[in-house]
Amino acid sequence: MTASPSPGGEAAQGPDAPGRHPILETGPRLAMCALLQGADWIEFATARTLLDVSDSMVSKHSRTLEDAGLLEVRKGAVGRRPKTWFRLTPVGRAVLASHLAWLTELGSAVDRGP
Amino acid sequence: MTDTPELDQVAEARRKLAAQAGFPVAYWVFFTAASVLIAGLPIWTSLLPGSGLYFQWALLGAVLISAAYAVIRRRRSGVYLPRRVTSYPGARLLWITTLAATGAGYLGISALVDRGLPGLALAVLVPVAAVMLVGQVLIRSAMRRSIEDGRVTP
**Taking CB atoms and an 8 Å limit, are A31 and B150 in contact across chains?**
no
B142 interfacial to chain A (CB closer than 8 Å): no
Mean pLDDT by 10 residues, chain A (114 residues): 40 68 92 95 96 95 96 92 95 95 87 74
Per-residue model confidence as pLDDT tens digits over B93-141: 999 999 999 999 999 999 999 999 999 999 999 999 999 999 999 999 9
Identify which of A21, A18, B15 has the alpha carbon closest to the alpha carbon of residue A1.
A21
B86 interfacial to chain A (CB closer than 8 Å): no
Burial B97-108 (b: 16+ CB within 10 A, else e): ebeebbeebbeb
State the CB neighbour count (10 A cutoff) for residue A1.
Answer: 14
How many residues are recorded in chain B? 154
Q: Give the closest of B2, B79, B147 to A107, CB-based.
A: B2
Confidence (pLDDT) at A13: 57
Rounded to two decimals, the pTM is 0.84
CATH number of A22-103: 1.10.10.10
Chain A partners of B13 at a C-beta cutoff of 8 Å?
A: 31-32, 34-35, 50-51
The two beta strands, A71-78 and A81-88, are antiparallel
Per-residue model confidence as pLDDT tens digits over B74-96: 999 999 999 999 999 999 999 99
Which whole-number Å values give the CA distances from B75 to A74, A102, B71, B78, B144, in the listed order? 15, 35, 6, 5, 19
Residue B43 corresponds to which amino acid?
Answer: I
Confidence (pLDDT) at A79: 84
Work out the minimum CA distance from A17 to partner chain B, whole angstroms: 17
Question: What ipTM did this prediction achieve?
Answer: 0.82
State the CB neighbour count (10 A cutoff) for residue B93.
Answer: 11
Give the start-to-end residue ranges of the domains of chain A. Answer: 22-103
Identify which of A93, A40, A105, A92 has the alpha carbon closest to the alpha carbon of residue A66.
A92
